[in-house]
Structure 1
Amino acid sequence: MSSSDFRHIAIRTEAGKAERLFRAAVSAFCSLTRPSRREIAQLEDLTLPLFDEVSVESRRYVAAALSECEYAPAALVRRLAEEPVEIAAPLLTRSNALSDIDLIALIGRHGLPHARAIARRKELNATIAHLIRALEKPTLVNTRPPETVTKIAPVKPAASATEDNRPDPGVPEENARRRLRSMMRPAGESAAVNLFLGQPTYLKLRETALTGNLAFFQTALADALDIDFATARSITEQSGYAALLAALKALDLSEDRAFLIAVAVHPGEFPHPQAIRLFLDRYRLLHREAALDKVRAWKAETLSRAIRGNAIETGRHASNSDDKAAGRKAS
């Protein structure tokens, strides 16, 4: 197909009839036995600017047509695959233009509706198939049953009336973590049942990341790395995913598992396949020992904060004691 053919279509369908132009261009392209790279690029140049102007019916028609096309334009296919599953289903189930990385990204961004359509693909990558099964029926994943943890409050000696009632450093954060864990248990049970206890680390991280509640994931990450909640929160609330990448590498997660968690926590960081490929390259090139060094640095910073906090508290108590002694002498 030459550029003159596209111009001929445009002339016949001008006067703002984007619908007919969109359909006609794709239909003409699909009739080609073996389109050249130039013809593929021409179709993308013609259809992508019209994409937002055409109706749902036209998008559905084009998605169905391109799903049977062996040399479908990758950029147009990816754009259509981001549509609701009612439109994208033919491409998700059949198109060869979608790579495994594309499929994982689509599952991460659109969840079960897209995942179920992708599951119908022939010769689907086994890792992706397992991921879809785990997302659809988490109970089928072989894990130990949740453990029941009964919390007994420790008996503390009665505090003197003159003692300062300020909480110890780190106590508010730990209380917040306990409250988050209590939110994960079924209502009406007297014992604290943590639904994530007894599960492997990855499953805890994945399930909490997919809840959409970042605090749940931060709590699971703090437990996995043995760091405090404030540090886990800072890892996930940074503008990029560099710190999270190091945390996941330190846990020795595979690339696909690390990516699924990253895209659930930072979906805006992966707007196109190139961003996904960059993440995978960075994850692959990061040495685990370097990631472990990063975790050690986080733990050292946590310890340093605790020491500084204790020093401040000690200074306050000493100052209060001096003030009281001075008051007694004055009286």
Structure 2
Amino acid sequence: MKYPEFRALEDRNGGSKADDLLTASITAFCCVARPAKSDAQQLEDLAVPLLPLTSPRVRRHAAAVLSELPHAPRRLVMALAEDDVDISAPILLRSPVLKTADLVDIIRRKGLGHARAIARRATTDPLMLDALHSFNDPALERTLAFQPPLEVETVAAPESEHLRETRQALRELMLSSDIGQSEDQVLADRLIDAALLDQTTTFHKEFAEALNLGPDNTSRIIGHGLNAELTIAFASLGLSAEATHLILTGLFGLVHKDLHSLRLFVQSYRQIDQEKARITVSRWKLQENSQALREKLREMAKDVENTARKVS
């Protein structure tokens, strides 16, 4: 049985896997109210190598989202700041991660385009102003003339209103009508805790026990992102859309970039017939048992063959 809605979500916008992975990881990081240093390090280790493989559209989105976060990973911010100016402009203009020395170095290495973007930051730092004035560029000078001086240097940018509204809307959408609908809330809580606490081994074990599947099948179904088999498995367990979304977020980061894609997921998930989902899982178990039986028969045949050779 196929579910086109989930396939559409899996292959959203026709983007590359690198695009999807970078977008999901950055969006998930931005939705953490107080990320730990380990969260920033994990994002940095994942995202920086991905940047050369991603499209300008996705890098532009990453720069815009990270530009307002004081806790954004420094190496990732620096890499985006040195990208083409049409991508790096939000970072150059707003990021509190970039200090004066960083900006001056970028101005000197990247040239006029980046300098014009940086000039829109209100600053009284003489080192920065000297670097900007050195271009003798009329457009840059006009920008500096209209920038009001800062009395104190901004240390940290507050959370954006748009980010707060989006996060609240996500919560309200997921909490609107699904709470308490899981047939086994204890199981749902265990799976959610294992996924959100990044306990991969624990989650695989809980998931395998709940479905009575072997480790190979479990790893294949969980895979590396949202897929039809995984959502069918959750539906067969009676998990609500809320619980399923939380588990997917814990496993793969925020898999839905906006409210529209989240609504599609919720609507599609609720349309899955639980009994049909259970039949599908039973088919997986049957295939797994058949494969195990074939392997056992092959082993027995080899043993018989080896015994015959020894006798002869």
TM-score range, shorter chain: 0.3 to 0.5
| TM-score (norm: length of structure 2) | 0.45
- Higher relative contact order, chain-length normalized (CA < 8 Å, sep 6+): 2
For the pair shown, which has the larger CA radius of gyration, 1 or 2?
1
| TM-score (norm: length of structure 1) | 0.43
